[in-house]
Amino acid sequence: MNWRLLLGLVLLAAAAATGWSAWQMRGREAPAAASGERSDYVLRDFELVILGKDGLESVRVQSPELQRREDESMDLEQPLFLAPAEPGPWRLSAERGWISADGELLRLEGNVAGDSDPASPAPSSFRTDVLEFLPAQDLARTDRPVRVTRPGLLQTGNGMEANLKTRQYRLLSQVRTRYEPSARP
């Protein structure tokens, strides 16, 4: 047998197999995309300043990683939010954070800590598991158990609303207060 005839038969068989395979696959849909959302972009070790509608700084964010979702919201790892206040900013930190697409709502989850500037007249701090922060209203709120401390005062309760600019807060239910007077020298 001639090698050209053998090569021709092999090529004819390959062409027939390819045509049959293409004919079988003509009605199938494309494979589904991998489940889970994909990030538009990722930032690492960054500082972000969010401006309010008045053009002034609304909140400053620092985090080792930010992922922007397709819906334009953002996920953060170990975020630190600095909310402007007098004499200095509030520091809000957590294990995870989320910023809405319009920047109107910030959510912190996992070991949430809020600390006022130590130079303020009555430095305050609070601890909870979940916190929502509305920068335009300077409002921090939670419906979870919360612990608030100030010099000489320890309060616990369920739920809290706090105006970070005026440093006024309100515990919503099951409030317990313990006064701890400072020792006199």
Q: Which amino acid is at 95?
A: E
What b-and-e string marks burial along 115-142, b requiring 16 or more CB atoms within 10 Å of the CB?
Answer: bbeeeeeeebebbbeebebebeebebbb
Domain-embedded: residue 164? yes
Query: Mean pLDDT, the chain, as a whole number?
Result: 85
- 108 vs 140: CA distance, rounded Å: 10
Domain-embedded: residue 134? yes
Residue 42: per-residue pLDDT: 87
For residue range 14-51, list pLDDT tens digits in order. Answer: 888 887 777 777 765 555 444 455 667 888 998 988 78
Measured on CA atoms in the order 94, 99, 103, 108, is the torsion positive or negative?
A: negative
Length of the chain: 185
- 123 vs 133: CA distance, rounded Å: 19
- Number of structural domains found in the chain: 1
For residue range 57-82, list pLDDT tens digits in order. Answer: 888 889 999 999 888 899 999 999 88
Domain-embedded: residue 158? yes
Domain holding 59, by residue range, is 41-179
Question: Closest Cα to residue 175, out of 163, 162, 158?
Answer: 158
| CATH code at position 143 | 2.60.450.10
- For the question of whether the overall pTM of this predicted structure is more than 0.85, the answer is no
